[in-house]
Amino acid sequence: MKKEIKFSLVYRDMWQSSGKYVPRKDQLAQIAPVIIDMGCFARVETNGGASEQVNLLYGENPNLAVRTFTKPFNEAGIQTHMLDRGLNGIRMNPVPADVRQLMYKVKKAQGTDITRIFCGLNDPRNIIPSIGWAKQAGMIAQATMCITHSPVHTAEYYIELAEQLIAGGAQELCLKDMAGIGRPETLGKIVKAIKSAHPDITIQYHGHTGPGFSVASMLEVAKAGGDIFDVAMEPLSWGMVHPDVITIQAMLKDAGFAVPEINMKAYMEARRLTQSFMDDFLGYFIDPRNRFMSSLLVGCGLPGGMMGSLMADLKGMHAAINANLKAGGKTELTEDELLVQLFEEVQYVWPKLGNPPLVTPFSQYVKNVALMNIFAMSKGQERFSMIDKNTWDMILGKAGKLPGKLAPEIVALAEKNHYEFFTGNPQDNYPDELPRFIAEMEKLGWDRGQDDEELFEFAMHEKQYREYKSGEAKRRFNAELLEAMEKHAASSGKQLTAADKRALLHPKAEPVIAPASGRVFWEFDFEEKSTEPPVGKIFKENEWLCALQTRNGLENIFSFCTGRIVEVEKGQGDLAQKGETIAWLEKQE
């Protein structure tokens, strides 16, 4: 009897590994039924990681996005799963225990079936509490081993780690090969050992394609007993993302495994829709180089999931580094030369920082140290002269135990700064905080939300949630998008029109139509001649919006929904013909 292989579509991670943002709620609602129609996925990754923080960054409620995306899969019997950073929850820094515990209750209520719990240091102390909380909430707890390649990270290391996680209550294991540098032969040995000792444990493999090992790794893991494989689909597969489902399905089918068939008509529709999301706005934030694989990653081991942010950071530092080099009479670097230098510097500093698996947030910390080293050296300064607080917390053990040993110069630098090393439980450094957030929501009159989901979001992403509530996040995102659109248009020799900008920045806005011909009045303070129309103002449904002075008298116009005026076509005192657009009103969720 052929062994059955199942596939999971990592739709969230496809976007995060490509660029800065993820699809909006309305786009997720469009794509979900088509993914179901493809007929080949037993699971879909719907949320977690940075995606919910990203929702807030462009002014969208992440709770609505998660519920919208999970609902059709729940109804179709397809399991949904999220990425969970253990001690860090779904943000970049440690989270109090009470907030972590609330996360599982909220995400289960929102329709997420499985949580993939990982610690960037592979410290079981940061994973095992989450296993218990997830199971209490009714979720499947999938404990994760972050795969990398170093003298420390041997097959024996991972086999022992798997035993600790299973003893801690894990129902499934995930091999998270976030940089795709796990060697196929070694991965096969790990899986074979786990399956020999625990034949009933489900093993899921997740591997980015960046350096090119992941397809071979999938075959070895399947032969060793792997059960579920994370795959992507065009137009985002390959590059820094994941292998395409078509390739993996064909490979495993030829190897004698029972694999699901793919509805290619639905695949092409999902491909078209995904491309349309890129054409809408997401493509403005995807670096073209993230579409390509690179064997340079074999040495540095940086993960696919951070390449979008890495390229943005690199662009931001490029000019400053070249300015330093020029001032010192040295040759300036091209962006590609700087990228290679960064990869080489990561490879140099990584073992000196204790070989933390290069996964969020520790990949960012190691990359930041490397980039700051390059910047410091461009000014003639020493390496490790600029290390941020979060990186020091990692070095000092506050985030967990480092797999390898710190280099003597790093230990000496810590002692010079009078820093103390921490050997206790990392969670003890971050006391409970929910009462503070509950009290503030009551004071501000903010609703805690269905199943306490708004309370959770506030506690998990405090700064971003405040900016979302104030509207600052949306305003900043719109300015960022407009800048990206204008740059793209200029590079193509074009110029954006006002209508282009409105359609792209506010695709859900609806027109306020003049019911008759007349002169528009947004207000009647005739003494104030410089009054501007109320762009940005929110009107409640049926609230007075403006008026038309017609030959038959005043015609009042009322808001057809609770929404924000995002653009005005007719200003104070302008003439409007019957049927013309006076303004654009965007409905507020």
CA 516, CA 520: separation in Å to the nearest integer? 11
CA 557, CA 542: separation in Å to the nearest integer? 9
Q: Is the pLDDT of residue 505 over 80?
A: no
In the block, which residue shows the tokens 């942010």?
Answer: 309
* 304: DSSP letter: G
Q: What does DSSP say about strands 140-146 and 114-117: parallel, antiparallel, or unpaired?
A: parallel
Q: Is the pLDDT of residue 525 over 70?
A: no
Domain ranges of the chain: 297-428, 508-587
Query: How many helices (H) and strands (E) would you count in the chain?
Result: 22, 16
pLDDT digits (tens, 9 = 90+) for 243-273: 999 999 999 999 999 999 999 999 999 999 9
Are residues 374 and 421 in contact, defined by beta-carbon separation less than 8 angstroms? no
pLDDT digits (tens, 9 = 90+) for 344-359: 999 999 999 999 998 8
Buried b (16+ CB within 10 A) or exposed e, 71-104: bbbbeeebbbbbbbbbbbbbbeebbbbebbbbbb
Return the pLDDT at 288: 85
Return the pLDDT at 75: 98
Q: Is the pLDDT of residue 528 over 60?
A: no
CATH code for the domain defined by 508-587: 2.40.50.100
Q: Is the pLDDT of residue 530 over 60?
A: no
Mean of pLDDT values over 230-235: 98
Which residue type is seen at 294? S
Mean of pLDDT values over 183-209: 98
Mean of pLDDT values over 351-374: 92
Mean of pLDDT values over 368-389: 92
Q: Is the pLDDT of residue 498 over 90?
A: no
Question: Which residue, among 522, 531, 518, has the nearest Cα to 559 in the 3D structure?
Answer: 522
Mean of pLDDT values over 305-333: 84
pLDDT digits (tens, 9 = 90+) for 533-583: 788 888 999 999 999 999 999 999 999 999 989 889 999 899 999 999 999
Q: Is the pLDDT of residue 313 over 90?
A: no
Mean of pLDDT values over 293-298: 87
Mean pLDDT over the full length of the chain = 93
Please return the burial class of 67, using the count of CB atoms within 10 Å of its CB with bins 0-12, 13-18 and 19+.
buried
Q: Is the pLDDT of residue 501 over 90?
A: no
Return the pLDDT at 305: 67
Return the pLDDT at 255: 98
Return the pLDDT at 314: 81
CA 104, CA 155: separation in Å to the nearest integer? 31
Q: Is the pLDDT of residue 455 over 70?
A: yes
Q: Is the pLDDT of residue 231 over 90?
A: yes
% the chain with pLDDT above 90: 81
The pLDDT confidence band at residue 445, using thresholds 50, 70 and 90, is very high
Mean of pLDDT values over 416-444: 96
* Positive or negative torsion for Cα 68, 72, 77, 83: negative
The pLDDT confidence band at residue 1, using thresholds 50, 70 and 90, is confident
Look up residue 524 and give its two tokens: 């009647």
Return the pLDDT at 85: 96
- CB neighbourhood size of 311 (10 A): 20
Q: Is the pLDDT of residue 529 over 60?
A: no
Which residue type is seen at 254? D
Mean of pLDDT values over 435-457: 98
The pLDDT confidence band at residue 161, using thresholds 50, 70 and 90, is very high
Return the pLDDT at 308: 65
Return the pLDDT at 507: 79
The pLDDT confidence band at residue 310, using thresholds 50, 70 and 90, is confident
